[in-house]
Structure 1
Amino acid sequence: MPRIAIINPAFEVSYWGLEYSQPLFGKKANMPVASLPLLAALTPPEHEVVLFDENVEPLDFDELETFDIVALTGMSVQRFRMDSIVSELNDRGCFVVIGGPWVTVEEDYFGDQADVIFIGEAENTWPQFLEEWQQGSHQHRYEQTDKTDMATVPTPRHDLLKSKHYLVGSLQISRGCPFQCEFCDIIVTFGRRPRIKHASQVTAELDSLLAQGMHIVFIVDDNLIGNKKAIKPVLREVAAWQQQHGYPIVFSTEASLDLCEDDELMELMAEANIQSVFIGLESPDEESLKETKKYQNVRSRGGTMLEKVHRIQDFGMEVWCGLIVGFDNDTSEIFATQQKFLKDSRIAHAMVGLLHAIPKTPLYARLLEEGRLDLADEHHYGTNVIPKGMTRDELLRGYLETMRNAYEPDVYFDRLDQLFVHDRFQFRALNTDYFKKHRWQRRKQRTIFTVGFVAMFIRLMWKVPDADLRRTYRRQILAVVRGRFTTPEIYFFYVLKCAMHYHHHRMTSEMIDDPSKFVSTYGKAMRSDESTEEQSDCRSAADQQLTENPIAVSSPSLPVVETTTST
């Protein structure tokens, strides 16, 4: 029986990886990349497949030598580690296959080190390669010509992952986004026509995730609502599954800002138990949004961008966001503007990134033609974009100050308290008609939240080493418990926000204290001084500076698609 190893290399410490918070949760990594279990499901049964995630455990190269095929996937931020792994495998005479978003946009990067490379989606080409490999007639390069029919995608082999080590599970429902953001590589790889799985496929995956003990799941679609009409019946079936099983899974997802325009859609998301949504807001400056063709954020329907955010929050879904600095329209004033917008929006979690040009995107082509790309493989200014309205030093300093301001405890908790305490935010998912009719289920949920709150509070007080932060967290948590005592879900989520703040605050402080460790989207690792063993305990979906949206590690094919804030 041929044996296949599929590897996800280690990420560096990053914004979304929550590496410093993982010990508080008792986990080793944030979320598994979706490609590993799906590739295993696409592999014919006559092959043995073993999945390796270096973010959970170190690689054993002696063991990898025993496999007939060793396949790697990886994003741009993993490419240095990928290169190191590939070199070691080559020295040991392994048969090496490489896919992923990085080789998809830079297919010559690894030279002749790979026996086979995959470009784009691989639902068709992966089985094709395995058949040709067995016949001794495989090609060096595979690229799927047609977009995958999502109705044919099998249930991923979640059972082959070490699920107990992950904080969050991953689920993909659709691929593609209808918009045309200039910096986005999603539309390059997945196209602008959203493709959606059948509801039966989605509920089968939920059964699989639940069987592995996953109760928090991120829907990794780059824009869940890219096809609003088609997603609604799927959400109805997910809601029915939740009701049948007693609402065992809490979801987060990504969506575009036009979500606020459709009350029915928001209600269906709430009934499916989607409690938070990541939105690519990018900038409060309308000229910058128009420049990058983010037209969905500037159309007048629904009010201003700030009003649209508030509408989603007031409906009962928490908003996370992506913000970008470094657009051509940006001057040094943008940093204060971004900080004020973040405060006014009441958004606790913002991924602030430097604009970065990904190969094969319209932005990359334009800036290359203008001579405004730093083509080096390492970028000491945090981005390969040479800005137009300020110097590179000004951009980097302003970015670091924006990050520092965002996660200063007083500033962070001011935003958090404005939403959860002063404006008395309520999760709509827990106040739908189902819970009103099934009060025992509501009481059950509140009991779970109360127990979870106590456990997490103890962990926070026990494991956060900074005494000042512990005091701040204790003061803030006790205040919210007093203010929202009858809604335990609020102070449960609040204590989680404290744990997440610890990671963001520590990571940002280290960036500012030693800017030489600063990482760009395509730069070297921020903590390159750490050993492989130390890095193996770190899991992220991308660097904190990404203009890509790291939380959506969404590729279901061998090339894990490195997503952007395309929504």
Structure 2
Amino acid sequence: MHVKLILPALKEAGTAQWRPIKYALFPPLGLATLAAYLDPTDTVDLVDQHVEALDLNDTPDLVLIQVYITNARRAYQIADHYRAKGCHVCLGGLHVTSLPDEAAQHADTVFLGPGEDSFPRFLADFRRRQPQARYASTLRTLDGLPPVRRDLIRRENYLVPNAIVVSRGCPYRCSFCYKEAFFEGGKSFYTQKVDAALAEINRLPGRHLYFLDDHLLGDARFARELFAGMRGMNRLFQGASTVNAITQGDLIERAAAAGLRSVFIGFESLGQESLGFSNKRQNLGRDYDEAINRLDSLGIKINGSFVFGLDGDTPDVFARTVEWAVSRGLTTATFHIATPYPGTAFHRQMSQEGRMLHDDWDLYDTRHVVFEPRGMSAAQLEAGYAWAYQNFYSWRNIGRASLHHADPLAGLTHFAYSAAWKKAEPLWNLAIQTGLLGQTRRGLEWVLGARRALSRPHSAAAAPELRS
């Protein structure tokens, strides 16, 4: 059987609007995970349209397309093309789960929710020539998950080829989270067995890893055992956490001892009203400065995430947020315009209040305003978002944030990392387009690990005292 797995792109590789650094970060692990359930005798093609051209001249027996909101239009076009050729087309992913009836107009089969249990059921039905039109996730477990088909991934195309996921979902239910509908009707957060996660890590070459999990520290027992198993592996890694997981217990110290060097944190808003509006309970009443100081003491870089336009935000939110992030020495910041994704509580509320502007999925990219904000105009929100990025990554503020560190080496690596992430974006794009991504990536990896390689901060001295 010939199977083709496709991740469509809104901005395809090689087109005038393509931004390589934006689309060449991580490989399509979801599709590579599903490919692991196929028979060894099957012919399998995995195509990530973000980094490579998609050949539409073939006629596979089975076409699987992963759909998220901003690639939905392209995904449907590709699906319609292959269905017209007589191929059996399956659609799955976040957008399909949120709007299954819309997706079903372009597919022979749609998948709702995670596919670890539903995809094997479909394969058995398909081989019997009795495939159903719709499959929904009923069993939420990663036990027995086969090794990801990384042989199908062209590592040279990605800035972070050693991406890994060891859990699914998140223990929290923020009202704006795109994954709210995806995990509805079952467990919303679950992990692999620790031994299986460590085995997957061992299969990855090189030293640097990036955990794409929504909350790597979300299950304290799992995380504690994972970090204990990773000690001695000589790995450096990045991951995501919440503020409360960093300020409670000693889990973040264990992560640092295992090799954590950078953490993504969804601060989202500095205002309690905005946090309450978005049901960001894990941040309400939390001391952001306590978390930041703890991470600084461990030599862990911080990528802070912020959302603009929630009810409670006014036009001064942009300057306040940027000044706070710079004054706290955040290494990088990611800004977003609040976006009510279909299937979320945020979307339901905006629809009920008549505040949705349109359903042009191409623009649901957190860079455009798609609803009527309450505390400012749509034009003010888009302008403020653009200003925040420009201002935070100004040379002046990169320098100011670097001076937040008492350790000169930490300040130097902060400056290099922050500048490399945004100021050097044209060089990254050139490296990707000219095939020199591997060489330039190694430079950024050196910056990520430099402080620990050249100094011995408090956390390294304390590491022998940590026990699983």
Q: TM-score range by the shorter chain?
A: 0.7 to 0.9
Which residue of 194, 197, 202 maps to 1:199? 194
Q: Deviations over 1:338-357 (max 9, x none)?
A: 12112122113111001111
Residue 348 in 1 paired to residue 341 in 2? no
In the TM superposition, what is the alpha-carbon distance from 1:21 to its structure 2 partner?
Answer: 5.0
Amino acid in the other structure paired with 2:355: R
Are 1:96 and 2:82 matched, yes or no? no
Please say if 1:142 is aligned against 2:63: no
Structure 1 segment 53-72 matched on structure 2, within 5 A: 53-62=48-57, 64-65=58-59, 67-72=60-65
Matched, 1:222 2:217: no
Aligned residue identity for 1:330: D
| Alpha-carbon distance in structure 2 between the residues aligned to 1:42 and 1:315 | 40
Match among 263, 277, 284 for residue 270 of structure 2? 284
Is 1:161 matched with 2:153? yes
Asked whether the equivalents of residues 11 and 50 of structure 2 are also in contact (C-alpha less than 8 Å), the reply is: no
How many Å apart are 1:90 and its aligned residue? 3.3
Shift of 1:19: 4.5
Is 2:279 the counterpart of 1:296? no
Corresponding residue for residue 239 of structure 1: 231
How much does 1:178 deviate?
A: 2.1
Secondary structure of 2:403's match? helix
Which protein has greater RCO, CA pairs closer than 8 Å, 6+ apart? 1
C-alpha displacement of 1:503: 5.3
1:39 aligns with 2:54: no
Contact kept, 8 Å, 1:178 with 1:194, in 2: the verdict is yes
What TM-score, normalized by structure 2, do the two folds share? 0.83
Moved more, 497-506 or 49-58: 497-506
* Residues 193-219 of structure 1: per-residue CA shift (max 9 Å, x gap): 531211211121112222xxx533211
Q: Residues 376-455 of structure 1 correspond to what in structure 2 (within 5 A)?
A: 376-377=359-360, 379=363, 382-415=368-401, 417-419=402-404, 422-424=405-407
Q: Distance in 1 between matches of 2:378 and 2:413?
A: 42
**Which stretch shifts more, 103-112 or 216-225?**
103-112
1:400 and 1:164, CA in 2 relative to 1: closer, same or farther beyond 3 A?
Answer: closer
Amino acid of the residue matched to residue 344 of structure 1? S
Aligned-partner residue type, residue 6 of structure 1: L
C-alpha displacement at 1:53, in angstroms?
Answer: 1.5
* One of 134, 147, 152 as aligned partner of 2:144: 152
1:459 counterpart residue number: none
Q: Whole-Å Cα distance in 1 between the matches of residues 36 and 73 of structure 2?
A: 28
1:320 to 303, 322, 345: 303
CA distance in 2, matches of 1:493, 1:205: 30
Contact 1:21–1:502 (CA under 8 A) maintained in structure 2:
no
Identical aligned pairs, as a percentage? Answer: 26
| 1:20 Cα deviation after fit | 5.2
Give the superposition deviation at 1:33: 2.0
Secondary structure of the residue aligned to 2:78 is helix
Q: Following the alignment from structure 2 to structure 1, what is the Cα–Cα distance between the partners of residues 109 and 133?
A: 4
Q: Which structure 2 segments of 5+ residues have no match?
A: 438-468
Q: Answer yes or no: is the 8 Å Cα contact 1:173–1:202 preserved in 2.
A: yes
> CA-atom RMSD, angstroms?
3.0
- In structure 2, relative to structure 1, the CA distance for the partners of 1:227 and 1:251 (3 Å cut) is same
1:49 is matched by which residue type in structure 2? V
> Shift of the alpha carbon at 1:93?
3.3
SS at match of 1:36: helix
Alignment partner for residue 364 of structure 1, among 331, 335, 347? 347
Deviates more, 1:28-37 or 1:127-136: 28-37
How far apart, CA to CA, are the structure 2 residues paired with 1:44 and 1:358? Answer: 36
Paired residues of 1:21 and 1:499 also in contact (CA < 8 A)? no
Instruction: Check 1:13–1:217 CA distance in 2 against 1; reply closer, same or farther (3 A cut).
Output: farther
Distance (whole Å) between structure 2 residues aligned to residue 239 and residue 144 of structure 1:
35
Structure 2 counterparts to residues 470-549 of structure 1, below 5 A: 484=409, 494-502=415-423
Rounded to whole Å, the distance in 2 between the matches of 1:323 and 1:54 is 28
Equivalent in the alignment of 1:458: none
Looking at structure 1, the residues matched to 358 and 424 of structure 2 have their Cα atoms a distance apart, in angstroms, of: 31
Give the equivalent residue in structure 1 for 2:67.
74
Equivalent residue, structure 2, for 1:51: 46
Q: What TM-score results when the alignment is normalised by the length of structure 1?
A: 0.69
Q: Match of 1:311?
A: 294
Quote the Cα distance in structure 1 between the aligned partners of 2:416 and 2:163: 23
Q: 1:227 to 1:368 in 2, by over 3 A?
A: same
2:335 match: secondary structure: strand
Paired position in structure 2 for 1:184:
177
State the 1:91 CA deviation. 4.0
Alignment-derived partner of residue 331 in structure 1: 314
Check if 1:272 corresponds to 2:258: yes
Q: CA deviation at 1:291?
A: 1.9
Q: Distance in 1 between matches of 2:425 and 2:32?
A: 29
Instruction: Supply the distance in 1 between the matched residues of 2:12 and 2:231 (Cα, whole angstroms).
Output: 35
Other-structure match for 1:7? 6
Q: For the residues of structure 2 that align with 1:88 and 1:408, how far apart are their CA atoms? A: 45
Question: CA separation of 1:138/1:226 partners in 2, compared to 1, >3 Å: closer, same or farther?
Answer: same
- Aligned counterpart for 1:252 among listed residues 216, 220, 238: 238
Structure 1 contact 71–97 (Cα < 8 Å) conserved: yes
CA distance in 2, matches of 1:239, 1:260: 19
Assess, with a 3 A threshold, how the Cα gap between structure 1 residues 19 and 218 changes in structure 2: closer, same or farther.
farther
SS at match of 1:150: coil
| One-letter amino acid of the structure 1 residue matched with residue 342 of structure 2 | P
Which residue pairs with 1:470 in the alignment? none
> What is residue 523 of structure 1 aligned with on the other side?
none
Unaligned runs of 5+ in 1: 23-27, 425-482, 508-533, 539-567
One of 104, 123, 126 as aligned partner of 2:119: 126
CA distance in 1 between counterparts of 2:117 and 2:226 reads 25
Q: 1:58 Cα shift?
A: 0.5
Do the aligned partners of residues 375 and 228 (structure 1) sit closer, same or farther apart at CA in structure 2, a change above 3 Å counting?
same
State the secondary structure of the residue aligned to 1:281: strand
SS at match of 1:52: strand
Contact kept in structure 1, 2:117 and 2:138, CA below 8 Å: no
Separation in 2, partners of 1:264, 1:82: 44
Matches of 1:187 and 1:259, distance apart in 2? 21
Change in CA separation of 1:332 and 1:387 when aligned onto 2, cut-off 3 Å: same
- State whether residues 408 and 505 of structure 1, in contact with CA within 8 Å, keep that contact through their aligned partners in structure 2: no
Which of 102, 109, 112 matches 1:109? 102
1:83 to 76, 80, 83: 76
Aligned length: 423
